[in-house]
Amino acid sequence: IGCGGSDHHRQRNKTKSNSNDKNGSYDTEKRFVYEHDKRFEPFPTFPLALAFNSMPMVTTIHHEEGVDNSAENRNERIMNMLLSSSSSLSSPKDDYFGIRTFPPPSMNGGILPSQFLRKEEGGGTTVDVNSYPAIHISQSLRMHHPFPVPPTQEQQKQQQQQQQQQCLVKIVIASKIISVEPKGIGTFVTSEADFYHLPNSYTRSTAKSSLSLSSFRLCTGRATYLLLGLPPSSVIPYTIQQLQQKQQKPIKKDGPKQQQSEEKSSKKSSSPPSPNDIIRYNIPSHQPFLYRLSGDYNQIHVDANSLPTFLTSMLEEEEEEEGGDSDGTSTVRPIMHGLCTLGYAIRASLFYWTQRGEKQQHEHHQLSPSNINVTDVKCSFVKPLPVGDPICVRLWENKKDYSNVQSVDKEGNKNVKLHFQVINDKNGHIVVDGGVVQAALATGAKEMPDRSTSLNTITTRSKL
């Protein structure tokens, strides 16, 4: 995701040859796309693509009236899904291999399920949610355990006696709605998804008695979408209890609006510090066609005619600012996948940490690609990026100390953080803002735990 397919170079070395950077980056990034690489592992944001390719086993687990939505009941249902045999899961059918639809099958009811829509007298909903454009506003991902990978062909040969018919990794995704907030511009929907993996070595009794469900949780993703134009009168507002408690905190006398305006003015008045590094990418125009293979088949990324009116108007205004075509004709292009653009930002962060490790030779900076384990990612998507426009990723360290070590865990790993922005290098507009990526860096010869999954600990039925 966001890996390969483009040239990148650093702002600092702009006047020098960057062939060494390219070769180093090729060697570093091959581990994300070549299954026989000794360091083969998923790209840090790979889990975000799984939701587009998964097949629904049960209805998305929401908080509904008349249903036992206690944490104990929800955890029990998730554990049962993890422990279900491969034969009980829905097998791929012939039509599954046809042309993919969007939204994908895993998004039952779309981004906003029907229980959050007001009903008409006849029992039906008042609006069709799928007729409103969905804008990806923000995304976060927190890793709890290293993501497993199936064994390679070479590993399978070494374990022929234990070989199974399928060597895939079973992932169960349990999603829930966090909040539904109707506003004048539309409705903001925030959802959260937990990704679970249970090795075959665990039986129903051992899994339930010896370990909690959190022991099998790989990562947690949270996303916010804006359903543009969806009228508040058609939506049932909703927030989980934890968020309601946060919102009930006392407000200062000057009121929230005045506080927000003061915060905005203070942000505008203080100019951001110079970034520690700037890394540029020339993204090829065919990148969205490749990224569609992740499962996101939304047409707005490959067909400009399918763009919502408001996006078309926004892009046309930007064209006018840049001068546009001399004949006055519109050349509005499709827009990049937001998660693909995020992938480039994470790629730049990995490149930054790796290159820093090569330059700093003392023991605290002896980094190699296998020493970097991304643990947290979050960002906001603030403007669309037209296909074919180059980008630059600005990176800031959180502290003046160049090592940027936030803390050291019990295993000696250095926990570090980078802040990032993604800029459209053609017009200077910020397209991704408020980005933060955190990682655990193992020092010296020590490397992160092996991600490979042996044949006696894998389960089946994942399309990826």
**How does pLDDT run across 127-157, given as a tens digit for each residue?**
888 888 889 999 999 999 888 887 776 766 7
Confidence of residue 393 (pLDDT cuts 50, 70, 90): very high
| Whole-number Å distance between alpha carbons of 6 and 290 | 12
- List, in order of start, the domains of the chain with CATH numbers: 1-11+25-39+273-317+332-452 (3.10.129.10), 44-87+99-118+130-201+214-246 (3.10.129)
Number of alpha carbons in the 13 Å side-chain half-sphere of residue 265: 6
Confidence of residue 237 (pLDDT cuts 50, 70, 90): very high
| Mean per-residue pLDDT, 282-286 | 95
* 129 neighbors 108 (Cβ within 8 angstroms): no
- Residue 161: predicted pLDDT: 53
What are the respective helix, strand and coil percentages of the chain, to the nearest 5? 30, 25, 45
The one-character DSSP state at 461 is -
- Residue 203: predicted pLDDT: 60
| Mean per-residue pLDDT, 273-289 | 94
* 416 neighbors 349 (Cβ within 8 angstroms): no
Residues contacting 445, CB < 8 A, separation 6+: 366
**How does pLDDT run across 106-129, given as a tens digit for each residue?**
665 678 888 899 887 766 777 888
| Whole-number Å distance between alpha carbons of 34 and 53 | 20
Task: Choose the most confident range, by mean pLDDT, from 186-195, 290-299, 315-324.
Answer: 186-195
Per the prediction, the chain carries an average pLDDT of 74
- Residue 420: predicted pLDDT: 97
The residue length of the chain stands at 464
| Mean per-residue pLDDT, 340-362 | 81
Number of alpha carbons in the 13 Å side-chain half-sphere of residue 18: 17
- Residue 429: predicted pLDDT: 96
| Mean per-residue pLDDT, 452-458 | 33
Output the six-digit token pair for 154: 């070479």
pLDDT at residue 101 greater than cutoff 60: yes
* 390 neighbors 422 (Cβ within 8 angstroms): no
- Residue 17: predicted pLDDT: 34
Letter for the amino acid at 445?
A: A
β-sheet bridge partners, residue 386 = 335
Give the number of other Cβ atoms within 10 Å of residue 48's Cβ: 24
Task: Evaluate the CA torsion angle 182, 183, 184, 187 in order and state its sign.
Answer: negative
Pair type for strands 414-424 and 391-397:
antiparallel
Task: Evaluate the CA torsion angle 419, 424, 425, 428 in order and state its sign.
Answer: negative
Long-range contacts of 151-155 (CB under 8 A, 24+ apart): 151/452, 151/453, 151/454, 151/455, 151/458, 152/35, 152/36, 152/40, 152/452, 153/36, 154/36, 155/452, 155/454, 155/455
| Mean per-residue pLDDT, 259-271 | 48
* 181 neighbors 237 (Cβ within 8 angstroms): yes
Residues contacting 109, CB < 8 A, separation 6+: 60, 129
| Mean per-residue pLDDT, 317-323 | 82
| Whole-number Å distance between alpha carbons of 435 and 418 | 8
Q: Assign 287 to helix, strand or coil.
A: helix
Angle made by CA atoms 86, 87, 89, in degrees to the nearest 5: 70
- pTM tops 0.75, yes or no: yes
- Residue 68: predicted pLDDT: 54
Angle made by CA atoms 285, 291, 293, in degrees to the nearest 5: 135
- Residue 378: predicted pLDDT: 97
Give the number of other Cβ atoms within 10 Å of residue 51's Cβ: 20
